[in-house]
Amino acid sequence: MIDARQTAAANAQQEQADTQQQQITDQQKQIDATQKTVSALGDAQTSAHYQEMVNARLSAQNDANARTAAEQKQKIDTLATNQETQQHIDSVQYGEQIQRLAQDSTQTHEQIDSLTQDATQTHQQLSNTQKRVADNSQQINTLNNHFSSLKNEVEDNRKEANAGTASAIAIASQPQVKTGDLMMVSAGAGTFNGESAVSVGTSFNAGTHTVLKAGISADTQSDFGAGVGVGYSF
Identify the pLDDT of residue 229: 93
Give the count of alpha carbons within 13 A of 163, CB side only: 15
Amino acid identity, residue 194? G
Do residues 198 and 178 touch, judged by C-beta distance below 8 A? no
Do residues 211 and 204 touch, judged by C-beta distance below 8 A? yes
Query: Which residues, in sequence order, are bridge partners of residue 208?
Result: none
Buried b (16+ CB within 10 A) or exposed e, 50-64: eeeebeeeeeeeeee
Identify the pLDDT of residue 30: 72
Give the count of alpha carbons within 13 A of 140, CB side only: 6
For residue 101, pLDDT beyond 70: yes
Does the pTM surpass 0.85? The reply is no
- The larger pLDDT score, comparing residue 25 to residue 142, is at 142
Mean pLDDT in residue range 196-222: 94
Domains in the chain: boundaries: 2-112
Amino acid identity, residue 41? L
Identify the pLDDT of residue 90: 75
Distance of CA 229 to the CA centre of its chain: 82
What CA–CA distance (Å, rounded) separates 43 from 210?
Answer: 198
- The larger pLDDT score, comparing residue 215 to residue 35, is at 215
Share of the chain above pLDDT 90, in %: 45
Identify the pLDDT of residue 105: 86
Mean pLDDT in residue range 23-27: 74
Identify the pLDDT of residue 40: 62
What CA–CA distance (Å, rounded) separates 26 from 222?
Answer: 144
What CA–CA distance (Å, rounded) separates 174 from 200?
Answer: 7
Give residue 1's pLDDT band: very low, low, confident or very high (50, 70, 90): low
